[in-house]
Amino acid sequence: MTDASPPVRRLALLGAGVMGETVLSGLIRAGWEPGSVVATDRRPERAAELEAAYGITMTSNVEAVRGAETVLLVVKPQDMSGLLADIAPALAPSTLVVSMAAGVDTETLEGGLPSGQPVVRVMPNTPAQVDEGMAAISAGSSATTDHLDRVRDILSATGRVAVVPERYLDAVTAISGSGPAYLFFVVEAMIEAGVHLGLPRDVSTELVVQTMLGSAKLLRESGEHPAILRERVTSPGGTTAAALRELEDHKVRAAFLTAMEAARDRSQALAASARQQRTGA
């Protein structure tokens, strides 16, 4: 007798854009069989590109979630309610639904899914592309510690994972979710400054990128407070003190605070509009 039931797909990844491909490529690097992952995207040319790059099957959202142990939602917050409506009827009750969307809270996700569906919300970041990601995860009302462990296993292939209360996730989004963009912005500004000071662009780029990498490594490996490490660079009456004074005069520290408040507020606004989309209010 042949077994006509479909093979168990361990993971269905819906929305294979920047963050979706980041997770997908990490799983393949970590040794996941391409046959254990299916993915979807709206654009056929994008689907063909990912099929060729990773040897996975690209399919429709409804097909992808059938038989999946875990469904990973990696679409923009604005696309979430439509996606939930599409997949809800095809989900098995035991399937774990994991969302990476900024702002969309577990209550809203659960509201768009069958009652009792386990849900975990994640805020990842793009350094997962080089296995140095930072992700924070929070359980929805029906998710167990086993579900959290499963998500931790998936994400720890590409970096660190912290379990946090969901009320922290808007702040997490502002700090580590969006964080790589602020650091790239600083790097960009320093490279331009080097060019302004007369350095060839390639030399300036190498100096800045290695300084960023070395400083991050020093912070991690020394375990010292950043203020201590900064003081060690700052000779009395020297060059660093002259530069830091300009940064303080230009209120760069205060600008970081207001920038991250703005990111937190935006995450909360996305949450409100996702709630509104769901309830139609």
Ligand X SMILES: NC(=O)C1=CN([C@@H]2O[C@H](COP(=O)(O)OP(=O)(O)OC[C@H]3O[C@@H](n4cnc5c(N)ncnc54)[C@H](OP(=O)(O)O)[C@@H]3O)[C@@H](O)[C@H]2O)C=CC1
Ligand Y SMILES: O=C(O)[C@@H]1CCC=N1
Span of 23-31, 43-51, 158-166, 172-180 interacting with ligand Y by CB under 6 A: 172-180
Q: Are 108 and 278 in contact (CB under 8 A)?
A: yes
Footprint on residues 43-102 left by ligand X (CB under 6 A)? 43, 46, 61, 74-77, 79, 82-83, 100-102
**Ligand-binding site membership of 47 (annotated):** no
Work out how close the CB of 125 gets to ligand Y at its nearest, in angstroms, rounded to a whole number.
7
* CA dist 77 → 22, 128, 141, 195 (Å): 18, 20, 20, 39
Q: Which residue from 112, 159, 177, 194 is in contact with ligand Y, where contact means CB under 6 A?
A: 177
Confirm whether residue 214 is marked as ligand binding: no
Token pair 């569906």 in the structure block, residue: 117
The label of the residue with tokens 């990973």 reads: 72
Q: Is 112 in the site for ligand X (CB under 6 A)?
A: no
Helical ranges in 164-224 per DSSP H = 169-172, 179-196, 201-222
Using CB under 6 A, which residues numbered 153 to 182 contact ligand X?
Answer: 177
CA distances from 275 to 86, 91, 172, 268 (A): 17, 21, 20, 11
**Cα–chain-centroid distance for residue 10?**
20
The DSSP annotation for 35-89 comes to GGEEEE-S-HHHHHHHHHHH-PEE--HHHHHTTEEEEEE-S-GGGHHHHHHHHGG
Could you say whether residue 173 binds ligand Y (CB under 6 A)? Answer: yes
Q: Does 40 bind ligand X (CB under 6 A)?
A: yes
Pick 103 or 194: Cβ nearer ligand X: 103
Site size toward ligand Y, by CB under 6 A = 4
> Binding of ligand Y at residue 178 (CB under 6 A)?
yes
Query: Is position 237 annotated in a ligand binding site?
Result: no
Q: How far is CA 55 from the centre of its chain?
A: 23
Binding-site residue numbers for NADP(+) are 14-19
Q: Which residues bind ligand Y (CB under 6 A)?
A: 102, 173, 177-178
Q: Which residues bind ligand X (CB under 6 A)?
A: 14-15, 17-20, 40-43, 46, 61, 74-77, 79, 82-83, 100-102, 123-126, 177
